[in-house]
Structure formats: C-alpha cells, structure tokens
Amino acid sequence: MTIYLDFDGTVVEHQYPAIGAENPHAIRVIRALQNIGHAIILNTFRADLNDGSLEEALAFLHDPAHGLDTISKSTAKKIHPGPFDLTESLRFDKLYIDDIAEGIPLIPNRMMANGFMVDWLAVEHALIQVGIL
C-alpha cells in the first residue's frame, strides 16, 4: 500500500516553522508499516513553501535514532488527503495519515491550546483490525 504521510500535526506536534516534539507512537507505527512493506511518501504543506522546511522534515525522519527506512519521496505539492476510510484505502491501495483527513482519530496537541494531532494508538488499532498492520 502507498501511505501518504503528513508531518506537522501527524508525525510531530504543530510548531511550524520549527519541528515540534515527536507525536507519541508515530515513529514506532511508521516503522512497523515500513517493516511489512508499505511505501511511505511524505505529503506535507512544507513541500509547497520552498523554504527548506521540507528538507528539515525529511532530515527529522532520517535521524538514525528513529530507525526508519529512508523516506526520500515526497509530493511536489501537498495533496489534500482523502478521508480516513480504511475500506476505501484497501480498495484503492492508498492511505492518507494526516491530521486534516476526515475521520482520523485525533488527540489534543500538547503545545497548542486549541490544536489537535493524530492519535497514533487509535490509528494503529484501526490498521491492525483491517489487516493493514
């Protein structure tokens, strides 16, 4: 499956232009997805900005401490994510993990009073239930 992975609010907490703190469980679940052969493509608004922030996001993901396979592909521009609908994801072999995807489980962002970020424990559970993970 091809997984389009957002960055801010998904892998890390919102703090653009800085790199926010790692979203709990994000790296572990991404690593598990890679380990079973899913292709990960970074799909972030940072690609639209041409300000070096995309490269910073890729460098964060490539940090050897994370133990991820290299994520070197990114969309040229942010693709608006489809809904978090795992039945459709299985049908089309494509999944968006993005804090703005309709229906994706969210938790409060610890750094923003009114912000939210992806709930990776709930996402992991849903992916296991349908056999994606």
Place 112 in a pLDDT band, splitting at 50, 70 and 90: confident
Is 116:99 a contact under the CB 8 Å cutoff?
yes
Mean pLDDT of 64-90: 93
Cβ contact 31:11 at 8 Å:
no
Q: How far apart are CA 95 and CA 106, in angstroms?
A: 16
* pLDDT interval class at 80 (50, 70, 90): very high
The DSSP 8-state label assigned to residue 46 in this structure reads G
pLDDT bracket for residue 12 (50, 70, 90): very high
Give domain limits for the chain: 2-130
- How much is the pTM? 0.95
Structure confidence at residue 72 (pLDDT): 81
Q: Tell me the CATH architecture of domain 2-130.
A: 3-Layer(aba) Sandwich (3.40)
Asked if the model's pLDDT at residue 66 lies above 80, the reply is yes
Q: Which pLDDT value is given to residue 110?
A: 78
